[in-house]
Structure 1
Amino acid sequence: MLRILTFVLPLALWVWAFIDCLTTPEDEVKHLPKVVWVIIVLLFPLVGSIAWLVAGKQRGVLRTGAADGYGSDGHGAGGYPEGGRPRGGRPLAPDDDPEFLASLKKNNNEHEDMLKQWEADLRRRENELRGKEDPEEGRKS
């Protein structure tokens, strides 16, 4: 069992560090360019993974830019600056992004307008067909 853990734990650490390195935005990578960190983690699995965890990425309070959790704009750690985006520059979830919500409303309005046009076109076509059928029925009688 111990032999398996000595193999599995470093492998899990290496995979986690590699994926974390790949998914970390460029502006949160410290000391070296992101590509160099990826190469280090790949070529030196155990040492590179530990180095990435220790020195490669801004973590915790350092990422917010202030020790007390408040930025220069006065928002708390949970508050967003103007634009509804966290300090990292990306929304946490689509429903937290005002631009995304506005685009949904715009798409919804466009689809409603298109549906109204289709319904009007369908009514017009039905009326045209009824108009053509009525005179023919009148001739037959």
Structure 2
Amino acid sequence: MARGIIAVLSIALSIFALSDCVQTEDEKIRGLPKWAWIVLIVLIPWVGPITWLFVGKERNLGGGPPRRQGPLAPDEDPDFLRRLDEDIRRERRERRERDQGEDGGSA
């Protein structure tokens, strides 16, 4: 029973490490070329996958998601917010002028 569980864990770890390696961009791989990591993961159970997970890939150690450059959403973009503010002020000014024009024309 214990051997079965160990075998299943070994296979699961190898599959996880292999899929992670295959999906990783070449620029983020450290130490060996991608093909060498794949061979290591497949041919050396436990050691290959664990080595890949700890050494083979640049990981974000800062905790949380990686920081993106620039605004994340339109409401965080200073240019968008400035244009939005200008549009709101222009619409209010036009509405005020239109309301004043209607009041002044009917008197």
Class of the TM-score when normalised by the shorter of the 2 chains: 0.5 to 0.7
| Equivalent pairs, count | 93
TM-score (norm 1): 0.46
Corresponding residue for residue 6 of structure 2: 9
1:16-56 deviation line (CA, Å, top 9, x unaligned): 122123324654459x7344456xx4xxxxxx4xx2334x4
Aligned pair 1:118/2:84, yes or no?
yes
Q: Residues 13 and 46 of structure 2 are in contact (CA less than 8 Å); yes or no, is this contact kept in structure 1?
A: no
AA paired with 2:92?
Answer: E
Higher relative contact order (Cα pairs below 8 Å, separated by 6+ residues): 2
User: For structure 2, which runs of at least 5 residues remain unmatched after alignment?
Assistant: none
Q: Percent identity?
A: 16
TM-score (norm 2): 0.57
RMSD of aligned C-alpha atoms? 3.7
Instruction: Determine the structure 1 residue equivalent to 2:71.
Output: 107
| 1:1-141 to 2 correspondences below 5 Å | 4-24=1-21, 27-28=30-31, 33-37=36-40, 41=42, 48=43, 51-54=44-47, 56=48, 59=51, 90-93=58-61, 100=67, 103=69, 106-107=70-71, 111-141=77-107
C-alpha displacement of 1:136: 1.3
